Amino acid sequence: MSQEANRTLVVTGASGQLGRRVVELLLEKPAGQVVAVTRTPDKLKDLGQRGAIVRSGDFNDPASLDNAFAGADRLLLISTDAIGPGGGRLKQHLNAVEAAVRAGVKQVVYTSMPNPDPDSPIFFAPDHRGTEEALAKSPLSWTVHRNNWYTDTMIALGTLPRAVASGQLVAAAGDGGAAYVTREDCARAAAASLASSNTTSRTLNITGPAVVSYAQLAKIASEITGRTVTYVPVEPEAMKAALISQGIPELFAGLIVGSDVAKAKGKMGPATSDYFELTGRQPTSVAAYLATQRTALVGAGAKAAG
C-alpha cells in the first residue's frame, strides 16, 4: 500500500454543496481514507456506503471536533455560512483551527475569499482575514484557497435570470469585474490540495480564466438566450435601495453591493493560473458555465414573454 493510501483526509462541512462534492472527488481518486465531518451525518449515508467514514462535528462545539478530527493527516476547513451579525463565523473557524492543532493535523486547507484586506468592502472579509491570520500564527502548515466569486451565484441569486427577463443588468461595479470560478472548480481545487503531499504554507487564488465585467456578462447572456440584455451601471447606494425595495433582505443586498464595489476596485481579480497548476485542468469560463444554464436564464423571461 502506498504512503498516500494510509493517510486520513478529513473534510468539514461535508453536507454542504462544496464539501459533498470534494468528498465525492476524493473517493474517486483514491487518495487515502476520507472522513466526512458534518453537523448532519444522516445526510451522508450514501457517502458512507461509498467508503467515507462519516463523523459528527460542529464548529460551535469544540469538544465534538476532537473526535471528528482524530487521526487527520490533512484537513479541509470549509468556511461556514454563518455570516452576518451574531453569526459567529470567525469564532467557529478559530475553534476549528485550535482543534486541528490539538489533533496534530499536518496540513490544513482553508476556503477563503479574494483580497480579504482591512479595506475590503465585503462585510464578512474580517472572518476570512482572521482565520488566515490564525492559521499563519499556528504551528500548522496550511494552504489558503482564496476562492473567487462562484459563477453559480449569478443563477442562484437570480441576478442573470432577472436581467434576461427585464433586458437590464443593473449593477454597481462600473467597468470592474470578477474572475468568477465555478463551485465545481473550487471543489476540484480543494480535492487536489487535500490529496497532494505538499506541506508548504501558501496562499492560492482560485479563479476562472479571466476577469469578466458586467458589460461582458450582459453580452454573454444575450448570446446564450437570444434576448437583448444591456448593462446599466448605477451607484452603490441606489443599487442597495433598489434591491431592498425588491424584497432582498438587507444583509444580502449589502453583500451584493459590497461585492460590486470590490469588483469596481479591482479586488475580485486578477485571474491566476493557480487552478491549472493544482489540477492540470483549465477552469470553466463564465460563458461555458452559463451555456449549461440556458433554461434557468430564460425561465422567468419565457413566462413573461408567453
Ligand X SMILES: NC(=O)c1ccc[n+]([C@@H]2O[C@H](COP(=O)([O-])OP(=O)(O)OC[C@H]3O[C@@H](n4cnc5c(N)ncnc54)[C@H](OP(=O)(O)O)[C@@H]3O)[C@@H](O)[C@H]2O)c1
Let me know: does 227 contact 301? Beta carbons within 8 Å: yes
- For the CB of residue 135, give the shortest distance to ligand X in the complex, in Å: 16
Q: Which is nearer to ligand X, 169 or 255 (CB)?
A: 255
CA neighbor of 160 nearest in space, from 7, 293, 12: 293
Question: For ligand X, which residue of 93, 145, 146, 183 counts as binding (CB under 6 A)?
Answer: 183
Question: For ligand X, which residue of 24, 58, 73, 132 counts as binding (CB under 6 A)?
Answer: 58
Given the rule CB under 6 A, which of 100-108, 146-154, 264-272, 282-290 is the region that contacts ligand X?
A: 146-154
- For the CB of residue 305, give the shortest distance to ligand X in the complex, in Å: 30
Name residue 205's beta-bridge partners.
Answer: 146
With binding defined as CB under 6 A, does residue 60 bind ligand X? yes
User: Whole-angstrom Cα distance, residue 136 to residue 201?
Assistant: 8
For residue 223, give Cα distances in angstroms to 150, 155, 219, 268.
21, 16, 6, 24
Let me know: does 206 contact 189? Beta carbons within 8 Å: yes
Please give the grid coordinates belonging to residue 200. Answer: 508548504
Q: Kindly report the CA angle at 185 between 179 and 188, in degrees rounded to 5?
A: 145
Residue 112's contacts (CB-CB under 8 Å, 6 or more residues apart) are: 79, 128, 131, 132, 144, 145, 146, 147, 203
Q: Which is nearer to ligand X, 60 or 292 (CB)?
A: 60
User: Whole-angstrom Cα distance, residue 174 to residue 262?
Assistant: 10
- For the CB of residue 238, give the shortest distance to ligand X in the complex, in Å: 24
Given the rule CB under 6 A, which of 145-153, 164-172, 238-246, 270-278 is the region that contacts ligand X?
A: 145-153
User: Whole-angstrom Cα distance, residue 118 to residue 211?
Assistant: 23
With binding defined as CB under 6 A, does residue 53 bind ligand X? no
Question: For ligand X, which residue of 7, 8, 9, 14 counts as binding (CB under 6 A)?
Answer: 14
Question: For ligand X, which residue of 18, 77, 103, 155 counts as binding (CB under 6 A)?
Answer: 18
With binding defined as CB under 6 A, does residue 38 bind ligand X? yes
With binding defined as CB under 6 A, does residue 39 bind ligand X? yes
With binding defined as CB under 6 A, does residue 25 bind ligand X? no
- For the CB of residue 106, give the shortest distance to ligand X in the complex, in Å: 21
Amino acid at 145: H
With binding defined as CB under 6 A, does residue 16 bind ligand X? yes
